[in-house]
Structure 1
């Protein structure tokens, strides 16, 4: 039986003390931890703020309430990812404590979840959503009615049997407080769409039924403010990919940029129809009530704040809502600009041939990221052979393959819109910036869904000659071959999804979802150049002047 990784402060202290000097104070026990290799220099600091002068006093007060509710999502995510936050934050200090807070636990999210605090072994694949000693076989045999729900925890009773507890029951007190803040915010909201959404989202936090609030969020078109809140993504559950983690973003709309993006939605049905795959794998019709908007993000909390930071959002994840209304794609422009300036450009200076460095452009980076999110709405949501939804058929492999689909179909969409004259720039701009983006993303390692997706793309492209590595150690894109490889990988991924081919996806991830030794040397060269891997935020009411 595996030992639980959620340790009490006393247990953690005793473990760490065996490798360190123990200091006792009147109120607590501080531990000087012997630290495995960890890299706080991975993160470049960025201040999250934007111009709020155009907002009303009511809107500023709504932001205050949104941030309070977001902080509660942050606390719940700590419990899901690690356990009792106080156990480890009380037992570590200094740079180690700072790094624990970035990673929401003692496992390095940008280094394949390696533990960096002594006394901890590998991170449980199921995080704290399941008993850490539970096997996949035990879970399947238990046949729990709500076991595969996104919104239940699986626990073990005194007799050793598995049972489920709904999120809204397990986190009742915290969720009631968060819902209360949202209800107060709804009373202040002047925009009817925002008011309705906040009311319904408050109710949804208390019963785990997010359908009505998702529809209301889809209908919210004109608000200056936005809030993404609740259990959203399932990446933290690396055992099955079933369980959703609590997250929150507080957002202020960039009206001018949003107007530029709005026109692209009309092309979704045409782009779906033209996908480079057999017709049966693209028979579903994407919703056309989708919209594209640009925002400045002013607060991250929970899952989205852990390790690598999200710079674009495509929600809701509910397939029923997607088929009925599509999705909303929110581009987090200030965070995106930070990653471009502080990470992508320096990487390009190291890895991209000098002849193509002129093709690294923010507009290309913005579009590649944006259409990655749009591409989640293309393709197929249900298998063509009776295996149910793609998500259900592919189990824990779904997240990685879905991110791979979004990567490659996003590039396909950019290419199609370029040919229609709807985007400015050249194929070379978008393709070279895409390759540089892979180097940026795979530095997270290949343990995450995004990391696996990027490695599949990189290795597939390498096999097809989409780029070459020159004698000087830099990479150069072959535009024609990259376009061919893009179409080939699109067809492969869409076919695997449509067939619900679980074993086929596993094989793809094993053969192409890994970082090879040659690429690792390149990543080491980037790291030696002191290019940060990601960003961390200075954020909060004080930063915003609120």
Structure 2
């Protein structure tokens, strides 16, 4: 019986949602040029000799996250890539499957349907009613797959069992890297993270990661975000970032986390929706990212991180906010500025600035720590109550409260600049992000905000097709949307959020026409990376 149980994971590795055979004649034309390339590098002279020795081991561990995410997203990677040719193959590698992540996860391979909401975390023929009726042990766990046994019954299998050889190898690479860790906090984190891979128990390693303060090199690795599970929003997907701290920029940022308790108290919402106190150990740092793998490397690329996601860790320790400065600069120069030249009214283009883009992105991550993590009416955590809509609403909250924080800190004299810079750059950022499509959590959040702002006259589209920010109305809309989102989260109002997503989380025809102008102008949608040891100097 033990042998049979061990064989079942291997059988499912060979039979997943994306194993339809395809030939070159079945390939739909793709536009690889919607991505522009950028080389990830940093000045290695700022690292110690031992830190440089760690990098190959960390990259090998990250490469394993790549393979695990391919399975979570699609299934049989090699079966797909062996059939595809040319641009279609390259496009599949960018998207980790046969679905265009920047076009609503539509299939670009004939014979393969559009992406299942549950990716490869669940059987594709499973209904929500069947899953809920099964009442599976650990069915709602972040770290289990749902599968069918030979009789067709649903059961769960933990990640560390499904991926046993791979996670053992990843753990070994982290332990080898830990041998060269000069910083005790980094060494402790790597060893605890290695142990967590073998058990799917990440709490202790999350605490260890929060306790790191002086390390020059960092790695975010493991099953982390739940965006890939669009069915329930509860299965975490594997990813990795390898990072080198920008100590000069980090020094400029360190003071802002201290304002979290005061900003929480002043949120524009009833007191019961801000009764939680943000963790006191939250910190902000800027990094050069030198390696992406897995979930964060699929389709649109992350430029800032706010972790851990564990609500218990957040309440105890807060979170760490990591700004990926080099990747952010690439998106600003290659994408945001050209978008602004097309869609922002000429008189306001002078307000589109990198420092404002950096701050808006940074305070988005800080704002994840504001508001409430548990409902006020005993519906459990916000994530549990809002299910598949939790991620979209949380991203919307972070976006709008990030701008709220900028406005408050400017008024206090704690942030430099003109609110017009931040607001116009924020508006341009909506156009950049909404091009990722309205199917993702970030895409829905952007569309809700765009449509809400439009209703509140926060911007005006002029006769020449460009957009002008109306600054006073923007501030009013910012406060009203903040209040709405915080109340929906605090009440665990699933039906209210669903209505908001269905009515405002869509791209209207006039905006779609504007986005097509950007495509016609040849402005890329996102970036792909040249990365690895060969690009580091």
- TM-score range, shorter-chain basis? over 0.9
> Structure 2 residue aligned with 1:204, among 184, 196, 217?
196
- Note if 1:296 corresponds to 2:288: yes
CA offsets 1:368-394 (integer angstroms, 9 cap, x no match): 000000111100000000111100000
Match of 2:101 in 1: 109
TM superposition outliers: structure 1 runs of 4+ over 6 Å: none
For 1:188, what is the secondary structure of its paired residue? coil
SS of the equivalent of 2:83 reads coil
1:492 match:
484
Corresponding position of 1:317? 309
State yes or no: 1:227 paired with 2:219: yes
**1:56: Cα distance to partner?**
2.1
Q: Distance in 1 between matches of 2:519 and 2:319?
A: 36
* Pick aligned residue for 1:165 from 157, 161, 172: 157
Which residue of the other structure, out of 113, 121, 129, is the alignment partner of 1:137? 129
Distance 2:18 2:359 in 1: 44
Aligned equivalent of 2:400, options 408, 422, 433? 408
Matched, 1:53 2:45: yes
Given the alignment of the two structures, is residue 186 of structure 1 paired with residue 181 of structure 2, yes or no? Answer: no
In the TM superposition, residue 35 of structure 1 has moved relative to its aligned partner by 2.6
Aligned to 2:498: 506
Which residue matches 1:6? 17
**Superimposed CA distance per residue, residues 332-363 of structure 1 (whole angstroms, 9 cap, x where no aligned partner):** 00000000000000000000000000000000
Cα deviation digits, residues 35-69 of structure 1 (max 9, x gap): 32422111000000010012222111111110000
Alpha-carbon contact 2:56-2:533 (below 8 Å) kept: yes
Question: Whole-Å Cα distance in 2 between the matches of residues 433 and 521 of structure 1?
Answer: 21
Aligned to 2:331: 339
- Give 1:33 deviation, angstroms: 3.3
Q: Does 1:327 align with 2:319?
A: yes
Aligned to 2:12: none
Question: 2:520 pairs with 525, 528, 531, which one?
Answer: 528
Q: Distance in 1 between matches of 2:490 and 2:299?
A: 32
- The residue aligned with 2:387 is 395
Q: Per-residue deviation at 1:423?
A: 1.2
> Alpha-carbon deviations, 1:448-472, whole Å to 9, x = none?
0000000000000000000000111
Task: Work out the CA distance in 2 between the residues paired with 1:458 and 1:72.
Answer: 38
CA distance in 1, matches of 2:463, 2:516: 18
TM-score using structure 1 length: 0.95
Please name the residue that 1:369 is paired with.
361
> 2:298 pairs with 287, 302, 306, which one?
306
Normalised TM-score (structure 2): 0.96
Written as runs of structure 1 = structure 2, the 5 A alignment for 1:377-456 is 377-456=369-448
The answer for the alignment partner of 2:245 in structure 1 is 253
The change in CA–CA distance for 1:7 and 1:114 in structure 2 (over 3 A counts) is closer
Following the alignment from structure 1 to structure 2, what is the Cα–Cα distance between the partners of residues 237 and 290?
28
Which ranges of structure 1 fall in alignment gaps of 5 or more residues?
A: 17-30
> How far apart in 2 are the matches of 1:48 and 1:187?
25
- CA RMSD of the aligned region, Å? 0.9
Please identify, of 116-125 and 267-276, the stretch whose mean Cα deviation from structure 2 is larger. 116-125
- Distance in 1 (CA, whole Å) between partners of 2:396 and 2:337 is 23
Classify the secondary structure of the residue corresponding to 1:145.
coil
Does residue 356 in structure 1 map to residue 348 in structure 2? yes
- Following superposition, the deviation at residue 544 of structure 1 comes to 1.6
Alpha-carbon distance in structure 1 between the residues aligned to 2:506 and 2:73 = 24
Contact 1:7 1:87 in 2 (8 A): no
**1:469 maps to what in 2?**
461
Q: How far did 1:293 drift? A: 0.1
1:145 positional shift: 2.2
Cα distance between partner residues in 2 of 1:170 and 1:386:
34
Distance 1:137 1:99 in 2: 35
Matching residue of 1:244 = 236
Deviation at 1:160, TM superposition (A): 1.2
The 1-side partners of 2:217 and 2:198 are apart by 23
Relative distance call for 1:442 and 1:184 in structure 2 (3 A) is: same
**Separation in 1, partners of 2:25, 2:276:** 54
Q: Is 1:90 matched with 2:101?
A: no
Alignment of 1:123 with 2:115, yes or no, is yes
Q: CA deviation at 1:5?
A: 6.1
Aligned to 1:27: none
Find the aligned partners of 2:388 and 2:187 in 1 and give their Cα distance.
Answer: 36
- Contact 2:17-2:119 at 8 Å conserved across structures: no
Q: Structure 2: any 5+ residue segments left out of the alignment?
A: 1-14
- Hey, what's the Cα distance between the residues in 2 that align with 1:516 and 1:494? 25
CA distance in 1, matches of 2:121, 2:316: 30
Is residue 243 of structure 2 the alignment partner of residue 275 of structure 1?
Answer: no
Aligned to 1:68: 60
